[in-house]
Amino acid sequence: MATSSGLSSATGALHAAGARHASHLRALNLDRVLSVVMARTGTFTRAELSDATGLSAPTVGGLAQYLIGAGLIADLGAGPSRGGRRPSLMEFNARYGFVAGIDLGPTRTRLAIANLGAETVAHRIVPTPTVLSPEGLLTSMATSLKELARDAGVPFDRVIVVAAGVPGPVNPDTGIVPLAPNLPGWRNVPMRSILQHAIGTTIVVENDVNLALLGERWHGAARGHDTFAFIFVGTGLGAAFLINGRLHHGHNYMAGEIGVMCMGLEHVNADFGSRGCLETLAGLDALRARWPEAEREDPAHWVVDLVAAADAGDPTAQRALQDTAELIGIAAANVGAVVDPSIIVLGGAMFAQADRLVDLVRSVVQRLSRTSFDVVLSQMGKEAPLAGCLLVAANEARVQIRHRVSQSAETAGAVQ
C-alpha cells in the first residue's frame, strides 16, 4: 500500500516531467516562429506567422510578444485595414546583432560590418601588411575591423560572428590554413584561433574563392543555380564548386585548386610546378609576361591598356589575350566535364579589367564542351568574397541566436 508521502513524490515527479515537456514544446514552437521571422525580408502580421508555422493564433501571439520583449521582433504598430480590424505589423530586428567579414588578399584586405540580414553598414579597404608574421598580420586586421566598427557606431560586443576569407585552402574543422602561396610565410597557420584570440567572438574561416562562389549565388551571376563553378584569376588562380546546393570542399579540403593543373605532357618530368601548371601559364603574371609593354603595377592599369592595344589591332596584345583565353578555356571545359555545371562564373582581377576575355574563354569552351552551359562574368567583381563572408557570418549568427533563445526559454520556462 502506497503511503501519502509516496503518492506525493510520484505526483511531484509527474508534474515536473509535464512541466519539462511543456517547456520543451514551447521552446520548439519558439524556434519555429523565430526561423520564419528571420527568413522574412519585409513586414508581417501575427496571422501570417500562424499560417507559415501552422501554430494557433494564441500560441503565435504569445511567442511573438516574447520575441518583441527580447528585442528580436520590432512592433511597428497597426497597418492599413483590409475591411476589418487593423492588423499589427512586425518585422525582424536585423540590428539585434551584427556580423563582420574579412576578405584577406595578397595586397589589399576588404573589411565590412553588416546587420543580421547581411546588409552592409560599414565597409573599408586597407593594405595587407604582408611584412608581418601571419599572427601579426591577422592581429592587425582584427584591430582594423574594430576601428571600422567604432567609426560606424557599432558596439563591437554585439558582433556575433566574423567570417574571414583567405587565398588558400582551409580545413573548416580546425580553421587551419595549410598553405597560402601568395601570403609570405603562410604554412599551417591556425587562422581561426588567432582571430578568436584577437577578436573574442565566433570565427568562421573559409577559402576566398569558395566565398566568392557563395556571394555570386546570393546576389550575383549565379542566382538560382544549384550546381555551378566559379573560376577566379588574379594574383592566384583557383575554382570553387557548388554541387546540388552544397559547397564542395573535397577530402583534403583542396577542391578547386585548379591552378596546379598540369597543362601539357612536356611539363610532367621537366618543370611542372614552376612553369607547367595552369597558374604559371595563365595567371596575371603570365599575361603580363606575354605583353612587353606591361608595367609592374596594379593590373587595373596595365590590363586595361593591354585590351585597348588589342582592340586597336596590336598583334602582340591580341596574341597575349588569345593564348591566355585558350588556356583558361581548356581548364573551364575540363571543369565542365567533371562537374557538369549549369553555369561557370569567371571572376578575379583579370576579368574585372578585361571582360573581353570572357567572350574568348566562352568560345573555347563551346568548341570543347560536350554539354551545354554558359560562361559568364562575375556580377559582384572584387566584392564577391566579402559578400560571401557576410552571408556565411549572418547564417551562423542566426543559428546561434535561435539556439540561445530556445535554450533560454526552455530552461527558464519563460514563454507563456
Beta strands in 66-170 (DSSP E): 73-78, 88-92, 98-103, 108-115, 120-127, 159-166
pLDDT for the residue numbered 268: 75
**Looking at per-residue confidence, does 26 or 185 come out higher?**
185
* Burial per residue of 103-139, b for 16 or more beta-carbon CB atoms within 10 angstroms, e otherwise: bbbbeebbbbbbbbbbeebbeeeeebeeeeebbebbb
Which set of grid coordinates corresponds to residue 371?
554539354
Q: Is the pLDDT of residue 26 over 50?
A: yes
Average pLDDT over residues 135-146: 97
| Cβ atoms within 10 Å of 351's Cβ, excluding its own | 23
Stretch 42-50: mean pLDDT: 91
Predicted pLDDT at 14? 47
Residues 6+ apart with CB under 8 A from 373: 336, 341, 342, 343, 344
Question: Residues 239-292: pLDDT tens digits?
Answer: 999 999 999 999 988 899 999 888 877 777 776 556 678 988 898 888 988 888
Least confident stretch, 37-41, 92-96, 113-117, 336-340: 37-41
Q: What is the pLDDT of residue 79?
A: 64
What is d(CA 89, CA 72) in angstroms, rounded to the nearest whole number?
Answer: 14
The total of other beta-carbon atoms located within 10 Å of residue 44's CB is: 22
For range 314-327, the mean pLDDT: 93
Residue type, 81: S
Q: Examine the pLDDT at 296 and tell me if it is beyond 80.
A: no
Average pLDDT estimate for 386-411: 91
Higher pLDDT, 301 or 397: 397
pLDDT at 81: 62
**CB-based contacts of 258, cutoff 8 Å, min separation 6:** 231, 237, 238, 239, 278, 331, 335
Single-letter amino acid code for the residue at 157? D
pLDDT of residue 85: 67
Max Cα distance, the chain (Å): 106
Residue 390 has pLDDT above 60, yes or no: yes
The domains located in the chain, with CATH, are 4-93 (1.10.10.10), 98-212+392-399 (3.30.420.40), 223-378 (3.30.420.40)
